[in-house]
Amino acid sequence: MVTDDLPRVTIAHLPTPIEPLPHLTAQLGGPELWVKRDDQTGLATGGNKTRKLEFLVADALAHSADTLVTCGAAQSNHARQTAAAAAKFGLDRVLVLGGDASSEAQGNLLLDRLLDAQIVWTGDRLPQERMSSVAHQLTEDGRHPYVIPYGGSNSIGVSGYVAAMGELMTQGEKQGRAFDHIVLATSSGGTQAGLVVGAHVFGYHGHILGISVDPRAADLRRKLADLATSASVHLSLDPVFESDDFDVNDNYLGGGYGVVGSLERETIRTVARAEGLILDPVYTGRAFGGLLHLIRDGAFDADEKVLFWHTGGTSGLFGHADQL
Ligand SMILES: *Cc1c(COP(=O)(O)O)cnc(C)c1O
């Protein structure tokens, strides 16, 4: 595999299972719905950031880092998985989180505290700026911080989802199944960029659709092209990606990032009742809601196979309980 030459630690439980969603498929009259369980990657309740962290932590260790620093929202799944990965590898962890100290210690934030992460609240400052100053201060104090960008989305983190596409193709060959569409929640872009680079590497010829939970499609598609191109360089591959190589739907942004609306509430209930599958309120609830809407709109043929890539976020449910 192209990712075999890159430094990587083992964290995730792989391969993650692929399961059918027969009741929803029947209720909708097709397409055939399946789910890839990256909510079950195994790190402190799992999620998609774990695959990225296998490469990011390896790079941090190669740089003799002693502290992982990252940023995100108060209920960031990425921050929680980063804190857990740091603990697992004996590294300190500093999380720069949006908001202020009054945020209730529930969901991911509760786990961050149990994982003994140092939490720095951004207040009204920009997370990226605050993160740089935190890293600078750590260096002044004689520490060796390793800064992981928002969502773990850089050329190193993206490798996790290039490898994931290889994993899917191997599972597909063994099970004699090919998916016409892959649908996922997209935000900082590393997951979708990795899958698209992986599709190029491993010869996946289906359609990959990112349903945005936050950025506008035009902005995100530019970022995806940059991420995919830099990841290709990192993997010593040739291709240069353009915005047109990415399909992003931004019709389901509702009230904005992390604002739980009726789409997310209804979708979480529908999927839980029909399949016993739990989605999260910020990412997968919104993206699956978009998928159901597109299906009812006739965007897929009844005999097509659609794989929803479940990217995790389950702990976030408990941080939004009052809105559910
Ligand atoms: C971070 C996250 C995403 C988005 O992944 P990106 O690589 O940032 O686009 C989707 N779902 C969940 C649950 C996440 O935590």
Flag whether the pTM goes above 0.75.
yes
Cα–Cα dist 168/83, whole Å: 27
Q: Is 106 in the pocket of ligand 1 (CB under 6 A)?
A: no
pLDDT computed for residue 123 by the predictor: 87
Q: What are the contacts of 250-254 at 24+ separation with CB within 8 A?
A: 250/212, 250/215, 250/216, 250/217, 250/220, 251/290, 251/293, 252/211, 252/212, 252/213, 252/286, 252/287, 252/289, 252/290, 252/293, 253/212, 253/213, 253/214, 254/286
> Position of tokens 């920009």?
126
Contact criterion met (CB below 8 Å) for 68 and 82: yes
Tokens (6 digits) for 209: 């659709």
- Give φ, ψ of 193 to 5 degrees: -60, -45
Atom number, ligand 1, closest to the C-alpha of residue 186:
9
pLDDT computed for residue 103 by the predictor: 79
Alpha carbon of 184 to ligand 1 centroid (Å) = 9
Cα–Cα dist 19/6, whole Å: 30
Going from the first residue of the chain to its last (324 residues), give the mean pLDDT of each consecutive group of 10, the final group possibly shorter: 90 98 98 98 98 98 98 96 98 94 89 97 88 97 97 98 98 96 98 98 98 97 98 94 98 96 98 98 98 98 98 95 90
pLDDT computed for residue 124 by the predictor: 85
Alpha carbon of 38 to ligand 1 centroid (Å) = 11
Which residue out of 311, 315, 320 has the highest number of ligand 1 atoms within 8 Å of its CB and is therefore the one to mutate? 311
Return the beta strands (E) in the chain as ranges.
Answer: 18-20, 32-37, 67-72, 92-97, 118-121, 145-147, 181-186, 207-212, 247-249, 305-310
Alpha carbon of 174 to ligand 1 centroid (Å) = 28
Strands 207-212 and 145-147: unpaired
Strands 181-186 and 305-310: parallel
Q: Catalytic positions, please?
A: 76
Could you read off the pLDDT of 201-240 as tens digits, one per residue?
Answer: 999 999 999 999 999 999 999 999 999 999 999 999 988 9
Tokens (6 digits) for 179: 């998916």
Smallest CA-to-CA distance from 121 within 102, 104, 106, 108 is with 102
pLDDT computed for residue 304 by the predictor: 98
Cα–Cα dist 247/172, whole Å: 22
Side-chain-side CA neighbours of 61 within 13 Å: the count stands at 17
pLDDT computed for residue 265 by the predictor: 98
Please tell me what DSSP assigns to residue 213.
S
pLDDT computed for residue 74 by the predictor: 93
Q: Is 312 in the pocket of ligand 1 (CB under 6 A)?
A: yes
Atom number, ligand 1, closest to the C-alpha of residue 188:
8
- What are the structural domains of the chain? 18-47+155-323 (3.40.50.1100), 49-152 (3.40.50.1100)
Cα–Cα dist 67/177, whole Å: 42
Task: Give the length of the chain.
Answer: 324
Alpha carbon of 213 to ligand 1 centroid (Å) = 9
Q: Is 189 in the pocket of ligand 1 (CB under 6 A)?
A: yes
Could you read off the pLDDT of 242-252 as tens digits, one per residue?
Answer: 999 999 999 99
Q: Is 186 in the pocket of ligand 1 (CB under 6 A)?
A: yes
**Terminus-to-terminus CA distance in the chain, angstroms?**
42
